[in-house]
Structure 1
Amino acid sequence: MEKIAVLTSGGDSQGMNSAIRAVVRTGLAHGYEMIGIKRGYKGLMENDFITLGSKDVSDILYRGGTFLQSARSEEFKTEAGQNKAINNLKKHGVDYLIVIGGDGSYRGAQSLAKRGIKTYGLPGTIDNDIPLTDYTIGFDTTLNVVQDAISNLRDTMSSHERVSVIEVMGRNCGDIALQGGIASGVDAVLIPEFDYDIKAIANQLSQGFERGKTHSIVMVAEGVATAKEVASFIEEHSNLDTRPTVLGHIQRGGTPSAFDRLFTSRMGHMVIELINDGVTGVALGMEKNEITYHTFDEIFKAQNIVNKKLYKVFQDLI
């Protein structure tokens, strides 16, 4: 009986558990033995392997995070670390390895693929910053978390006639800020992909209050500046009471949305089909509502580009 191992690596995201469940149950249905590797590549090097049955993945569909846990590992980037990992995979007789994670996790999977390990990737990151997929695991849930947080902040900002500057995740990708901003009706969005004029934004906010607004909200991606820096500048140039809020790791929490549960279930099922078909060295995603796949080389050659049309939508709506 062939063996399939699955691990989660890097930052956790809502829907990872759903993806693990889909991989394990589909694999079992197709006659594979399923193995879980705890704590990502660190656990892979330290031989932290467990057998997974159908019952082991019960009641995790609706839970955020990853029950296999995750960790970052500098050692795995070295040849010695990868040798440890490969030796452990061979010792356990693992035929296929499925990695759920972001850019760094994919690079690890690509390294193993180049050394003969049959690897597969599922895009597990809330930042939505993996090329050649419209969505990544947890992104939709994160948008809902951000939207709820903004709704709560709007209530208190209105009571005190304040400006709120909200910092969200997205070091190199502004999708959370942009799409969360559109969904929440914020007044300004600062993202890495587009230049901005902070003085013009401060002036725009002042004019809004002069027209009778009782609150304003500015969304900033962490890759642009901190909420504290932006709030200080706006207050200095507008004389408006401005408060910073950093949502931080709260964005990674919460039960996965219906979209993320369905998305991960479809990908988890398809990756087993790819194994059956002899396709290897690929990562899955969604394009135009279809589950698709590309080689790791194709993904790293591509560029993740923010949706310029959505940015225009935002500008026309403010």
Structure 2
Amino acid sequence: MPLKEILKTIYAPHKAFREIIQNPRYIGPMLILILFCFTGAVSTYAYLTKTYYEQTMPKNRFEDPSQARVDEWTEDPALWHTSEGCVVKANNMDYISGMNYGTNSIEFSAVNSAEMSAQLINIGPINCSNSGGYSKLYFRIKLTQPDFPPNGLWLYLYSSPTSYFCRNLIGEAKLTLNAWNNLTIALADGDWIQVGDADWTRINGLRIELTWQNKSDLRILLDGLFFGGVFKQAVDEATGYVTNSFAYTFMQFSIRWILLTGIIYVMCKAFKANISWRITM
């Protein structure tokens, strides 16, 4: 295939189409195929240059489409260490559905208690500093028992067992009973209490603690726990997406061309028209 004709489909497609119509050859569909694939790849690249995605920990599907387990911290109850008397299990009936969520929430329950806590350990080190680190913590919480709200919702972020940041969220959370509450917590700001040598550049553990004024049967659900707030331009991952776009356009065009050719051939045979195949490159 002459290079001149290939380039013409890109810089002067109207001239290329006119020549294809005036002198039909097999090279015509090939040139059109190249034009379609080229425009598809360019449009995909242009879209990616204007698209940003949020980096999270754990990773979301946009960062790693091949990742089998998303939202892993609220999928596996074995990851959680709970206070005495607190039972943890996966709940596959009541959870947040979405592309970046799994098919479970984590359920914590206790009998005749006024407090419960749950902790993740060895999840880092995670950089949550103002120097390029995660700036937000997201989680969804649902309070199903008791029928009155807690008077304390403490969040702890550990650098070590004795060094941590803590914060009481009860004043800012505005929790609704028996409904999923979406909480977004700013990190590394002045609302955190620092204990010991806690360092925002190395967060290795997380603990959630709830307290109630009176003892009762307790049951809460937790889902969608992520560190986030860091945004990255999607064009940095453009190679894979542009390649996939080129391949998709190629297959789409080829399949449709073959189907159209087959339909025309069958119709010509049905009407007993004379058909001759002529190969002209």
TM-score, with length taken from structure 1: 0.20
Larger RCO of the pair (alpha carbons < 8 Å, separation 6+): 2
Determine which structure has more spread, i.e. the larger CA radius of gyration. 2
Q: Which has the higher strand share?
A: 2
Q: Which has the higher helix share?
A: 1
The alignment's TM-score, normalised by the length of structure 2, stands at 0.21
